[in-house]
Amino acid sequence: MSLFSRRLLNLTLSLTIQSSIKYVLTQGDSLLIASLASLQDQGAYALSSNYGGLIARMLFQPIEEASRNLFAKLCAPASSPSTEKPKNPSSNPQTPAADGVKKASTTLRDILKFYSLISLVAFSLGPTLAPLLLSLVAGSKWSATGAGDVLGTYCYYIPLLAINGVSEAFVAATADQKELYAQSFWMGGFFAAFAGSAYLFLCVLGLGAEGLVWANCVNMGCRIVFNLGFVKRFFRKNGQVSLRFVNVDLYSVVDASQAFDVVDTLPTMYSVSATAVVISVLRATKGVLAQYGLVGEFVRIGGIGGVFVLTL
């Protein structure tokens, strides 16, 4: 066993356990959906998740994979040769370099800011555009079953998938073994939240396949809160600069250039107001070009959406 790195073996074991827990939870989701939802709701949900998942797999997954590698490089512990003594006696060889932490904070903030703008577009145009796209791709037979409305609701879930993907990539790239075990423990709690919300939306409120989408939104929201909490703790921990006097720590301050504030990733009030206006305009102009069929609807939504994107 001396041929293998003990540190890498421990990390591999942690990731294997975490992947196993994720697999069990995924299968638990499938069993829960099969037991609570009817066959029609399961079919509509499967259709919406397959079509909606295409966007996540084609657009967001490559960004997630690339960002994971980037964050791992930027936030890797700064190591110095054993023959050289550190210039600063207070420096910790396991602490990431300040420049790398700063770049990681800026990169993550920019990606989340970009995702927040995409979320506004998905929230405003998705519920109206999705049923039309489904009728164009799958035909009117599927759209008449209510699957189009489910796909429209799924547009609220896609941005959460994107935000969770990049934030979870940061956690996977920077968390230590203990933190990975803690994440696995919390994922069990998130599954409990999903199960409770699924029972509420399906059995109590009777929302059908749309209730399954909302239950997944609750699950994904819990995971995002956990990931962003880890992100804030990471940058607060690694952004501290100790002020010393005669090898004694006086106090620590947080470097503002490395601080991470979730508020900075949120869209502005101007963007939110523009989103509300677009939703109102889409509702007010519904059926204006209905005599031209799907082409007229696409022209109406495309024109309004194009102006909206330019204003963002």
For 248, left (φ over 0), alpha (ψ -120 to 50), or beta? beta
The pTM of the full predicted model, rounded to 2 decimals, is: 0.81
Residue with tokens 């009817």: 38
Which of 251, 250, 256 has its CA nearest to residue 236?
A: 256
Residue 89's pLDDT band (boundaries 50, 70, 90)?
very low
Q: Residues 6 or more apart from 127 whose CB is under 8 A from it? A: 152, 153, 155, 156
Say if CB 147 and CB 44 are below 8 A apart.
yes
Q: Residues 6 or more apart from 94 whose CB is under 8 A from it? A: 77
Which of 96, 74, 230 has its CA nearest to residue 167?
A: 230
Sign for the CA dihedral angle at 146, 150, 153, 158 comes to negative
- Residue 253 to residue 239: CA distance in whole angstroms: 8
Question: What's the average model confidence in pLDDT over 25-30?
Answer: 70
Residue 76: predicted pLDDT: 81
Residue 281: predicted pLDDT: 92
Residue 21: predicted pLDDT: 73
Predicted confidence (pLDDT) at residue 255 exceeds the cutoff of 60: no
- Residue 29 to residue 237: CA distance in whole angstroms: 35
Say if CB 294 and CB 132 are below 8 A apart.
yes
Predicted confidence (pLDDT) at residue 226 exceeds the cutoff of 90: yes
Q: Provide the 10 A C-beta neighbour count for residue 135.
A: 18
Q: What average pLDDT does the structure give for the chain?
A: 81
- Residue 205 to residue 144: CA distance in whole angstroms: 22
Question: What's the average model confidence in pLDDT over 72-76?
Answer: 87
Burial class (CB in 10 A: 0-12, 13-18, 19+), 155: buried
Predicted confidence (pLDDT) at residue 105 exceeds the cutoff of 70: yes
Residue with tokens 């939104």: 217
Residue 260: predicted pLDDT: 75
Interval 122-145: pLDDT, tens: 999 988 888 888 888 877 777 667
Q: Residue 251 forms beta bridges with which residues?
A: 243
